[in-house]
């Protein structure tokens, strides 16, 4: 009997555990398409958001106009509240009101459609302030954006610290589900509070790191030193820079000191208030797509191998966070850890935001401080003249921003900190940014006026040449022609032409859909999993990120050569005679689909594309409180999730608890008495036929 009872008990417990998930599904509605605000730290501060360790819960209140805040901040009888905030109200003024009250337990932000017409930038008015070239010792009149406020729309919201969770609702359907739950249960009736049950939301985003990078890195370091199972609480923001050269160089050696190199640079990362939501259409993609198109145009020129100077195409990662990538490359050059030295740099051309030009004008920014040196001034003037002459006949007009105008936030500033290098930064703005959505979730294809006809298939959209693509191709053409002249090219440059179709493909892939047929064909088979749907360009802490991989393989595809090698030879070029492994990189890529089957036709690409580490020197030097280098880290967390459910009144919860405790006590007492009288209740009756003699 006892064996049978134990078996029945196990069956009941197993059935209960199987039903657990279904019970949870009946209680909770998970929100699957969300993006959290997470905690970032630098040498002195923590910024971002977090929940309590068990998540934060509150009654939902929809705020669609500022008057709705009164209910949350004063009138509502059921605090704390979890606010569903209209995207147009997601601004500094409203957020600081909510930050200053205990009546708010969290925030879910709905995306504003269309984008806020007044602009929205949660970044700083003076991006990367203190980490560029201008300081009290170098151009103090330009330090801290004294001369020009580059991002006047910047609210600094991304650099505030919130002690409650804030999530972005990416799916309009989920937003509607929350609003419907609110309408059904939470709408105030006749000026009085709604009746229970109420619709509530729970947000989980507890962060492990606190205070600053100095604190969290010290804790992680101590854990790693003394603990068998170390618990790391934060990680440095890091990735890889992508670079290649027009003429191949020995990537593991050193370039001859006499050899001059022109650096062309751009950033490939962006940022917004929410984690991994960084479309960066104008702030990053427009410039690096133009850069890639210029590189392709130059590689098609027949006499590039004869040019007097080499050209290095450089794509920096982590520039949004105090110039991580460029500061690391400068550091490596100074420490002889890179093939080039600073002395090899002839000049520097940087592509910044270039998609929102007025009247086709592209502005040339230079550094007025270094130009006080006569030799630098001569070289800068030559640089400006070559660029201006290269725009003749093109639908691009280059104008000098002005001798008294400082450089905008740019990677070039990190090189100037180390050495007076002649250089120019090309932008679509003379003073303040044209981009009203700098470092925000609204810096999307629509922001750079990308438009497609309705009814196109994904493949047709990929190939469709937009006006934006034509405009950026014109900029790429001018840049490529100027670089050819600067490198010593003497032939006519009219044949140097960037391809608008290539630019269209890149814009589609980097802004609309990464998982497209072209990107699929140019990457390695073992990394095809990086091709997500919606592209994001946040630098992150695990590397390389998708953007880095794709820039690497797009650049290899546009500038490399298809070589006749087998898969084994391509994957092991050091075993192949004449491969010049120290000069080239080899990649076995998937290739396009065979028209007559579902299989692909892979091939081997040889290029001069390389990766170099984009980790701030502060972490290499263990100087976590550095003011010279970027110190940004990202906190670790256990889980990120959001859900809604109905919550009962406190009175009903107390009654339920009391009844449950009463039943428990009764059960214990009953069990005790049954056990005490077990010999009477469960005694085995005597056999009436048995007789004792």
- Output the domain CATH number for residue 325: 3.40.630
336 and 190 co-located in one domain? no
pLDDT of residue 186 exceeding 50: yes
Residues 647 and 532 in one domain: no
What pLDDT is recorded for position 2? 40
556-569 mean pLDDT: 95
Report which secondary-structure segment, H or E, holds 60. strand 56-63
- On whether both 197 and 255 belong to a single domain, the answer is no
Rounded alpha-carbon distances, angstroms, from residue 654 to 60, 299, 380, 572 = 22, 75, 77, 70
Spatial neighbors of 685 by CB under 8 A, at least 6 apart, are none
Whether residue 391 sits in one domain with residue 253: yes
Q: Are residues 215 and 243 in the same domain?
A: no
**203, 249: one domain:** no
Bridge-based pairing of strands 40-41 and 104-110 is unpaired
Three-state DSSP class for residue 152: coil
Express each pLDDT in 188-223 by its tens digit: 877 677 888 999 999 999 999 999 999 999 999 998
Q: How far apart are CA 354 and CA 471, in angstroms?
A: 9
- Quick one: average pLDDT of 309-329? 98
In a domain, 65, yes or no: yes
Q: What is the mean pLDDT of residues 601-608?
A: 96
191-195, 485-489, 652-656: which has the minimum mean pLDDT? 191-195
Name which of 40, 93, 38, 82 is nearest 57 in CA terms: 82
What domain range is 275 assigned to?
238-560+608-615
Q: 255 with 219, same domain?
A: no
Residue 684 has pLDDT above 90, yes or no: no
User: In the predicted model, is pLDDT for residue 568 greater than 80?
Assistant: yes
For residue 686, what pLDDT is reported?
64
Q: With respect to residue 88, please indicate whether it lies within any of the assigned structural domains.
A: yes
Residue 690 lies in a domain: no
Biggest CA–CA distance in the chain, Å, is 132
Residue 693 confidence (pLDDT): 44
Encoding tokens for residue 104? 């708010």
Say what percent of the chain tops pLDDT 90: 82
Question: How far, in Å, CA of 487 to CA of 272, rounded?
Answer: 38
160 with 274, same domain: the answer is no
Query: What is the number of structural domains in the chain?
Result: 2
pLDDT of 25 over the 90 cut = no
The H or E element that residue 400 is part of is: strand 397-400
Residue 660 lies in a domain: no
**Position 21 pLDDT exceeds 80:** no
Report whether 203 contacts 83 (CB < 8 A). Answer: no
Q: Is 596 a residue whose pLDDT tops 90? A: no
Residue 392 covered by a domain: yes
> Angle, nearest 10°, between helix axes 500-511 and 546-559?
170
Determine the pLDDT at residue 589.
96
Residue 360 lies inside a defined structural domain of this protein: yes
Burial status of residue 112 (CB atoms within 10 A of its CB: 0-12, 13-18, 19 or more): middle
pLDDT digits over 102-140, tens only?
999 999 999 999 999 999 999 999 999 999 999 999 999
The DSSP result for 84-119, as a single string, is EE-GGG-SHHHHHHHHT-SSEEEEEEEPPSS--TT-
Q: What is the mean pLDDT of residues 600-626?
A: 96
46 and 116 together in one domain = yes
Q: Looking at residue 496, what is its pLDDT? A: 95
228-237, 265-274, 281-290: least confidently modelled range:
228-237
Instruction: Indicate whether 684 belongs to any domain.
Output: no
Torsion sign (Cα): 283, 173, 40, 99: positive
- Asked if residue 537 and residue 467 are part of one domain, the reply reads yes
Residues 89 and 112 in one domain: yes
To the nearest whole number, what is the mean pLDDT of the chain? 92
Flag whether 19 is in a domain: no
**One domain for residues 388 and 242:** yes
Q: What confidence score (pLDDT) does residue 595 get?
A: 81
Q: What is the DSSP letter of 161?
A: B
Q: Provide the pLDDT confidence category of residue 323 given band limits of 50, 70 and 90.
A: very high
């Amino acid at each position: 009997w006892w064996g049978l009872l134990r078996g029945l008990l196990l069956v009941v417990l197993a059935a209960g555990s199987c039903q657990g998930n279904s019970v949870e599904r009946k209680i909770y509605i998970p929100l699957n398409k969300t993006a959290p605000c997470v905690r970032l730290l630098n040498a002195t501060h923590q910024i971002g958001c977090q929940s309590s360790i068990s998540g934060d819960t509150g009654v939902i209140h929809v705020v669609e106009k500022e008057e709705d805040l009164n209910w949350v901040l004063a009138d509502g009888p059921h605090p704390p509240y979890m606010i569903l905030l209209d995207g147009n109200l997601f601004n500094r003024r409203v957020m600081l009101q909510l930050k200053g009250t205990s009546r708010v337990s969290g925030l879910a932000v709905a995306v504003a459609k269309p984008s806020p017409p007044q602009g929205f930038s949660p970044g700083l008015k003076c991006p990367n302030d203190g980490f560029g070239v201008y300081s009290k010792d170098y151009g103090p009149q330009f330090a801290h954006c004294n001369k020009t406020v580059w991002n006047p729309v910047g609210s600094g919201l991304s650099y505030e610290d919130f002690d409650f969770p804030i999530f972005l609702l990416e799916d309009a359907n989920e937003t509607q589900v929350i609003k419907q739950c609110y309408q059904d249960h939470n709408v105030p009736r006749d000026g009085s509070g709604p009746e229970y049950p109420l619709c509530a939301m729970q947000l989980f985003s507890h962060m492990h790191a606190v205070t600053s990078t100095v604190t969290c890195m010290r804790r992680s370091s101590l854990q790693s030193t003394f603990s068998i199972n170390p618990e790391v609480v934060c990680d440095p923001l890091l990735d890889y820079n992508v670079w290649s050269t027009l003429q191949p160089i020995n990537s593991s050696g050193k370039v001859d000191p006499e050899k001059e190199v022109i650096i062309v640079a751009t950033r490939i990362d962006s940022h917004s208030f929410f984690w991994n939501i960084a479309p960066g259409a104008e702030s990053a993609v427009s410039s690096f797509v133009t850069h890639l198109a210029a590189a392709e145009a130059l590689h098609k020129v027949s006499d590039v191998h004869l040019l007097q100077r080499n050209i290095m195409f450089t794509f920096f990662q982590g520039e949004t966070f105090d110039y991580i990538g460029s500061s690391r490359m400068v550091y490596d050059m100074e420490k002889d850890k890179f093939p080039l030295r600073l002395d090899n740099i002839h000049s520097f051309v940087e592509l910044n935001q270039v998609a929102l030009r007025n009247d086709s004008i592209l502005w040339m920014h230079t550094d007025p401080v270094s130009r006080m040196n006569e030799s630098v001034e001569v070289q800068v003037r030559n640089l400006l003249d070559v660029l201006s002459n290269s725009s003749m006949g093109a639908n691009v007009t280059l104008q000098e921003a002005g001798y008294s105008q400082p450089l905008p936030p740019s990677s070039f500033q990190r090189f100037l900190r180390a050495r007076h290098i002649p250089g120019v930064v090309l932008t679509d703005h003379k003073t303040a940014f044209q981009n009203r959505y700098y470092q925000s979730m609204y810096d999307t294809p629509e922001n750079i006026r990308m438009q497609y006809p309705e009814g196109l298939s994904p493949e047709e959209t990929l190939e469709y040449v937009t006006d934006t693509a034509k405009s950026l191709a014109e900029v790429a053409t001018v840049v490529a022609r100027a670089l050819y002249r600067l490198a010593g090219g003497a032939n006519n440059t009219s044949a140097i032409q960037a391809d608008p179709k290539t630019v269209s493909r890149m814009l589609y892939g980097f802004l609309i859909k990464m998982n497209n047929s072209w990107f699929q064909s140019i990457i390695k088979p073992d990394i095809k999993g990086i091709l997500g749907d919606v592209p994001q360009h946040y630098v992150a802490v695990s590397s390389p990120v998708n953007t880095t991989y794709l820039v690497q393989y797009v650049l290899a595809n546009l500038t490399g050569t298809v070589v006749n090698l087998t898969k084994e030879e391509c994957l092991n070029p050091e075993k192949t005679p004449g491969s010049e492994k120290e000069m080239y990189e080899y990649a076995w890529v998937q290739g396009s689909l065979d028209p007559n089957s579902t299989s692909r036709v892979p091939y081997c690409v040889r290029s001069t594309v390389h990766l170099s580490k984009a980790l701030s020197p502060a972490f290499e030097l263990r100087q976590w409180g550095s003011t010279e280098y970027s110190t940004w880290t990202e906190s670790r967390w256990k889980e990120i999730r959001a859900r809604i459910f109905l919550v009962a009144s406190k009175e009903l919860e107390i009654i339920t608890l009391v009844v449950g405790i009463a039943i428990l006590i009764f059960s214990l007492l009953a069990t005790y008495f049954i056990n005490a009288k077990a010999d009477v209740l469960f005694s085995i009756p005597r056999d009436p036929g048995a007789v004792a003699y």
